[in-house]
């Protein structure tokens, strides 16, 4: 028997077999394992970048002791698209499609957040009807966002039915988007100053259908999970975080509210006339997966109530007020196509906007909206050019994902999967 | 007692004297600057002083001003006091040749990744950071892409020039 080489840890067995197998065994004597890998009692497990248990592009390098998670390192950046650099060379209206691609489960909120940032920066006043129309779209987007998150938590705990059942109502929401802006997922909805077109009757009919049918479906969905023994055992007490730690980690949105902090941008810094609406801010206590589920669930009911109030307010507009869907800001709002062909002034504005010939004022602004996952902030710095000098997106996902290790440490591997989906991590928002 | 921007400004001046400067208010948010050496002291004071209690770090990001010689890189902190519902913007600047800045990650866990992102894009070296490496870009990169000197467009293209963007 040949002497083992220094550093080779696999012992050669005197294998009584012939030919090919023996040759392969011979070759294996030269494999060198990393130092310490035999003595080690934990296993390194690589989950992702693509994995059925992660909904999106996430990589986690986990150390597991049996099924317990000892530590993990999250790797992000697989779909980084340099949005902040791109935005430095685009006029304001061309940045809207970029914001679609942040949290693509609720892109209308991102679009509106960006328009509101621009309007605050340019000091534009919007008619109330536009604000209310925006509120309808944003709350629909919030419902579709929470709907996906909660039903995916169901999928990861073994209940696929709820997911498929509520999906048809996300479809209905997307049909409303389609009616308003022509697209479904990456919506590019609205313009600086309002909407590009008025809501059609079909849009309102679909909205009424949604308001009539969805609450019942949501109740059924809730019944499927909220007091379900299996679901509760899987989610209660897993992935929990205290309010102090959650704040220190920069949590916002439903995840922070589940930990017991009633911070909601819609209440604290109202935008788009949210102060005109009456709604509750649901909070949890333990910040675990179950509380996150319940908070999102309760928020969907609040969103339905907000949409109803907004729809009622819209119906109260009479005469010409009932036709208003954008502010009168010719410097930023594209004129109608038929006017461009027939009127000199409209042609001039059209040309100036499209060529990006309108200089921005100097200054900086931080403006935030309540996105599906929390405070979606836009930090805009202008040096008086036609494009932002610097634009930074405060992406809630990116900030709270760093707490993932603390949330799952010491728990079971299968709970880590549920924790990941109940945080509602969206890869597009993580990587910008 | 409602906390106002003037109160914050007075408290900061009382504590740090002329080390905190350039107070201004834009869209309701008070902003100020200081030298980069005292950034941790300022952040800690804002965090721990009970009447200020800026315990939430909303955002941390970098900005590059290539024309400000000696202060080309800026780190901007957005802080938030939830109970008083008031925001604050604090910035420090550093030279592009000497990019060391103290890390805020000991005070705010949320600063950890935001500082890594700022390092990744601007090359600001956060001293004392537990794990300062690139986060969104690949590790092999040898430049900092959000600095203004790094071109967005392919330099061989002649159909696009900066004149179209108002800074020719």
Give the confidence band of B161 by pLDDT, cuts at 50, 70, 90. Answer: low
User: Which CATH number does the domain B5-151 belong to among 3.40.50.970, 3.40.50.720, 3.30.460.80, 3.40.190.10?
Assistant: 3.30.460.80
Verify whether the Cβ–Cβ distance A403 to B109 is below 8 Å: yes
Hey, is the C-beta of B57 within 8 angstroms of any chain A C-beta? yes
With beta carbons under 8 A apart, name residues in chain B contacting A76: 135-136
**What part of A 269-328 touches B (C-beta under 8 Å)?**
269
Å between B19 CA and nearest CA of chain A: 23
Hey, what are A222's tokens?
Answer: 């809730």
Gap between the Cα atoms of A328 and A125, Å rounded:
9
- The confidence score (pLDDT) of residue A24 equals 64
Hey, is the C-beta of A386 within 8 angstroms of any chain B C-beta? yes
With 50 as the cut, is the pLDDT of residue A1 above it?
no
Mean pLDDT throughout A290-314? Answer: 96
Mean pLDDT throughout A189-197? Answer: 92
Å between A264 CA and nearest CA of chain B: 10
Facing B145 at nearest CB: one of A85, A356, A402:
A85
Residue pair A194/A175 in contact (Cβ under 8 Å)? The answer is no
- The confidence score (pLDDT) of residue B165 equals 57
With 60 as the cut, is the pLDDT of residue B148 above it?
yes
With 80 as the cut, is the pLDDT of residue B146 above it?
yes
Give the confidence band of A19 by pLDDT, cuts at 50, 70, 90. Answer: low
Give the confidence band of B151 by pLDDT, cuts at 50, 70, 90. Answer: confident
Tell me the pTM.
0.90
Mean pLDDT throughout A231-256? Answer: 94
Hey, what are A82's tokens?
Answer: 């340099």
Gap between the Cα atoms of A266 and A303, Å rounded:
12
Burial A159-169 (b: 16+ CB within 10 A, else e): beebbeebeeb
Mean pLDDT throughout B51-65? Answer: 94
Give the confidence band of A41 by pLDDT, cuts at 50, 70, 90. Answer: confident
What confidence tens digit (pLDDT) does each residue in A69-94 have? 999 999 998 999 999 999 998 889 99
With beta carbons under 8 A apart, name residues in chain B contacting A407: none
With beta carbons under 8 A apart, name residues in chain A contacting B68: none
Mean pLDDT throughout A114-137? Answer: 95
Lowest mean pLDDT among A35-49, A213-227, A263-277: A35-49
Q: Please, what is the average pLDDT of chain B? A: 89
- The confidence score (pLDDT) of residue A3 equals 47
Contacts of B78 (CB under 8 A, 6+ apart): A366, A377, A379, A394, B57, B58, B59, B60, B87, B88, B89
With 50 as the cut, is the pLDDT of residue A349 above it?
yes
DSSP A412: B
Contacts of A200 (CB under 8 A, 6+ apart): A179, A180
Length of chain B: 168
Verify whether the Cβ–Cβ distance B112 to A89 is below 8 Å: no
**What part of A 108-137 touches B (C-beta under 8 Å)?**
120-121
- The confidence score (pLDDT) of residue B110 equals 94
Q: Which domains does chain A have, with CATH numbers?
A: 1-40 (no CATH), 83-431 (1.10.645.10)
With beta carbons under 8 A apart, name residues in chain A contacting B67: none
- The confidence score (pLDDT) of residue A355 equals 82
Mean pLDDT throughout A404-410? Answer: 93
- The confidence score (pLDDT) of residue B168 equals 47
Give the confidence band of B3 by pLDDT, cuts at 50, 70, 90. Answer: confident
Q: Taking every pair of C-alpha atoms in chain A, what is the biggest distance, in angstroms?
A: 99
Q: Which of A421, A423, A432, A422 is nearest to A51 (CA)?
A: A421
With beta carbons under 8 A apart, name residues in chain A contacting B56: 247, 250
- The confidence score (pLDDT) of residue A56 equals 83
- The confidence score (pLDDT) of residue A48 equals 79
Report percent pLDDT > 90 for chain A: 80
With beta carbons under 8 A apart, name residues in chain A contacting B61: 379, 392
With beta carbons under 8 A apart, name residues in chain A contacting B106: none
Whether the CA torsion A328, A331, A333, A337 is positive or negative: it is positive
Q: ipTM score of the complex?
A: 0.92
Verify whether the Cβ–Cβ distance B165 to A89 is below 8 Å: yes
With 50 as the cut, is the pLDDT of residue A7 above it?
no
With beta carbons under 8 A apart, name residues in chain B contacting A245: 109
Mean pLDDT throughout B126-145? Answer: 92
With beta carbons under 8 A apart, name residues in chain B contacting A383: 167
With 80 as the cut, is the pLDDT of residue A217 above it?
yes
- The confidence score (pLDDT) of residue A220 equals 95
Hey, is the C-beta of A404 within 8 angstroms of any chain B C-beta? no
Nearest residue of A to residue B64, measured between CA atoms: A390
**What part of B 75-104 touches A (C-beta under 8 Å)?**
76, 78, 82, 85, 87, 89
**More confidently predicted of B7 and B167:** B7
Mean pLDDT throughout A196-212? Answer: 95
What confidence tens digit (pLDDT) does each residue in B104-130 have? 999 999 999 999 999 999 999 999 999
Give the confidence band of A32 by pLDDT, cuts at 50, 70, 90. Answer: confident
Q: What is the C-alpha end-to-end distance of chain A, expressed in Å?
A: 59
The residue extents of the domains of chain B are: 5-151
Verify whether the Cβ–Cβ distance B78 to A377 is below 8 Å: yes
Q: Which of A254, A272, A271 is nearest to A263 (CA)?
A: A254
Q: Please, what is the average pLDDT of chain A? A: 90
- The confidence score (pLDDT) of residue A36 equals 77
- The confidence score (pLDDT) of residue B35 equals 93
| A/B interface, count of CB pairs below 8 Å | 102
- What backbone torsions phi and psi does residue A52 show, to the nearest 5 degrees? -60, -25
Whether the CA torsion B156, B159, B160, B162 is positive or negative: it is positive
**What part of B 98-157 touches A (C-beta under 8 Å)?**
108-110, 112-114, 117, 121, 134-138, 145-146, 150, 152-153
With 90 as the cut, is the pLDDT of residue A374 above it?
yes
Mean pLDDT throughout B42-56? Answer: 93
Å between B15 CA and nearest CA of chain A: 24
């Amino acid at each position: 028997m040949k002497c083992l080489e220094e550093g080779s840890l696999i012992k050669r067995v005197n294998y009584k077999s012939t030919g090919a197998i023996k040759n392969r065994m011979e070759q294996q004597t030269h494999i060198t394992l990393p130092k310490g890998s035999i003595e080690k009692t934990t296993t390194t497990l690589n989950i992702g970048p693509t994995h059925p248990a992660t909904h999106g592009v996430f990589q986690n390098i986990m150390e597991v002791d049996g099924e317990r998670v000892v530590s993990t390192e999250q790797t992000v950046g697989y779909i980084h698209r340099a949005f902040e650099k791109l935005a430095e060379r685009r006029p304001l209206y061309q940045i809207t499609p970029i914001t679609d691609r942040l949290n693509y489960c609720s892109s209308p909120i991102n679009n509106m957040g960006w328009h509101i940032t621009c309007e605050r920066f340019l000091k534009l006043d919007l008619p109330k009807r536009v604000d209310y129309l925006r509120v309808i779209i944003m709350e629909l987007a919030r419902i579709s966002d929470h709907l996906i998150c909660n039903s995916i938590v169901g999928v990861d705990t073994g209940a696929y039915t709820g997911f498929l059942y509520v999906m048809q109502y996300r479809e209905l929401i997307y049909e409303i988007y389609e009616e308003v802006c022509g697209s479904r997922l990456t919506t590019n909805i609205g313009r600086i100053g309002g909407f590009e077109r008025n809501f059609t009757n079909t849009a309102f009919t679909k909205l009424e259908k949604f308001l009539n049918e969805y609450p019942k479906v949501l109740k059924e969905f809730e019944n499927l999970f909220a007091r379900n023994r299996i679901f509760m055992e899987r989610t209660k007490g897993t992935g929990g975080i205290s309010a102090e730690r959650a704040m220190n980690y920069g949590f916002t949105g439903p995840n922070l509210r589940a930990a017991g902090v009633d911070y909601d941008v819609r209440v604290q810094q109202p935008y788009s006339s949210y102060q005109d609406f009456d709604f509750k801010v649901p909070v949890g206590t333990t910040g675990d997966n179950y509380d996150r589920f319940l908070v999102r669930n309760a928020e969907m009911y609040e969103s339905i109530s907000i949409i109803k109030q907004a729809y009622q307010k819209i119906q109260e507009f009479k005469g010409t007020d009932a036709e208003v869907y954008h502010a009168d800001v010719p410097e930023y709002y594209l004129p109608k196509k038929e006017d461009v062909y027939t009127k000199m002034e409209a042609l001039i504005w059209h040309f100036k906007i499209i060529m990006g010939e309108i200089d921005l004022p100097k200054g900086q602004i931080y403006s935030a909206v309540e996105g599906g996952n929390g405070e979606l902030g836009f930090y805009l710095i202008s040096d008086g050019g036609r494009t932002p000098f610097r634009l930074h997106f405060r992406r809630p996902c990116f900030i709270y994902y760093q707490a993932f290790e603390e949330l799952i440490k010491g728990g079971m591997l299968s709970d880590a999967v549920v924790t990941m989906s109940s945080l509602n991590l969206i890869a597009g928002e993580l990587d910008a | 007692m409602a906390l106002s921007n003037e109160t914050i400004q007075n408290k900061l001046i009382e504590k740090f004297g002329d080390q905190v400067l350039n107070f201004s208010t834009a869209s309701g948010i008070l902003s100020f600057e200081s030298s980069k050496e005292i950034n941790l002291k300022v952040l800690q004071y804002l965090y721990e002083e009970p009447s200020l209690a800026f315990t939430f770090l909303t955002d941390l990001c970098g900005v590059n001003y290539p024309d400000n010689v000696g202060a080309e890189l800026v780190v901007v902190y957005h802080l938030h006091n939830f109970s008083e519902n008031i925001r604050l913007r604090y910035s420090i600047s550093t030279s592009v040749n000497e990019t060391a800045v103290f890390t805020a990650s000991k005070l705010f866990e949320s600063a950890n990744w935001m500082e890594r992102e700022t390092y990744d894009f601007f090359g600001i070296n956060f001293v004392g950071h537990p794990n300062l490496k690139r986060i969104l870009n690949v590790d092999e990169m040898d430049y900092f892409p959000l600095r203004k000197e790094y071109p967005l467009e392919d330099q061989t293209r002649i159909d696009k020039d900066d004149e179209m963007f108002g800074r020719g």
